[in-house]
Amino acid sequence: MALVGKKFPSITVDAISEMGDDLRINVFEEAVNNKKKVLLFWYPKDFTFVCPTELHAFQEALGEFEKRNTIVIGASCDTNEVHFAWLNTAKDNGGIEGVTYPLLADTTRNLSNVLGILDIDEEVYNEDYDSIELVGSNVTFRATYLIDEDGRVFHESVNDMPLGRNVNEYLRLIDAFTHVQEKGEVCPANWEEGKDAMNADRKSTADYLAKH
């Protein structure tokens, strides 16, 4: 189910701070109550391979997101205890020591299930045990959501597990959406801050294409 243009689900989830404090975070309320944009990114598992490269990449760009009035939140289905252990593991040992944004611990999978981002291929009925078995890892794909100050999603994407994200692309998308909010113009292909945008009419499109 596509969420773009819709309100992000108002579901409260366990989380942990950089200091190891247990939190309860509702991403929708974080956006609305703070009047900030939110970037929420999901990754499959702590203590894996691609995942720490992404968490460090978002940390390195954290100042740029803050300049854009944007809160960064990471998320997986690991527990707060596993998050805390990972936060206290050095970078050169595959850890995420130095990451300062909060991490959701969606152990119940309440939010990730509503979002439809869990790796579950199918449910199989086991006659021997009269039970339903899930096929798949039951952890999340690399899903990313950009949410505006009203709690509305303006971008969502899902990568397969082996594919790391390009953090700069999310900065570009936030810049483009902010330009639309402030200027009322639309942003053409490959638009970046400082480049020409367009009005949403045929003449403006024709003029833009003639110049470019």
Predicted pLDDT of residue 73: 98
Rg (CA), the chain: 19
Query: Is the pTM for the entire model greater than 0.85?
Result: yes
Predicted pLDDT of residue 212: 81
CB 121 within 8 A of CB 135: yes
Q: With cut-offs at 50, 70 and 90, classify the pLDDT of residue 120.
A: confident
Query: Which range is least confidently modeled, 30-34, 60-64, 120-124, 179-183?
Result: 120-124
Residue 14 pairs with which residues in a beta bridge? 24
Hey, which residues are catalytic here? 51
Two tokens, residue 2: 């596509």
Residue 156 pairs with which residues in a beta bridge? 145
The number of residues making up the chain comes to 212
As a whole number, the mean pLDDT across the chain is 93
Q: What mean pLDDT do residues 68-90 have? A: 98
Q: How far apart are CA 185 and CA 17, in angstroms?
A: 38
Domains and CATH numbers, the chain: 12-165 (3.40.30.10)
Q: Name every residue whose Cβ is closer than 8 Å to that of residue 20 and which is 6 or more positions away in sequence.
A: 84, 87
Give backbone dihedrals phi and psi of 155, rounded to 5 degrees, phi first: -155, 140
Q: Which amino acid is at 194?
A: G
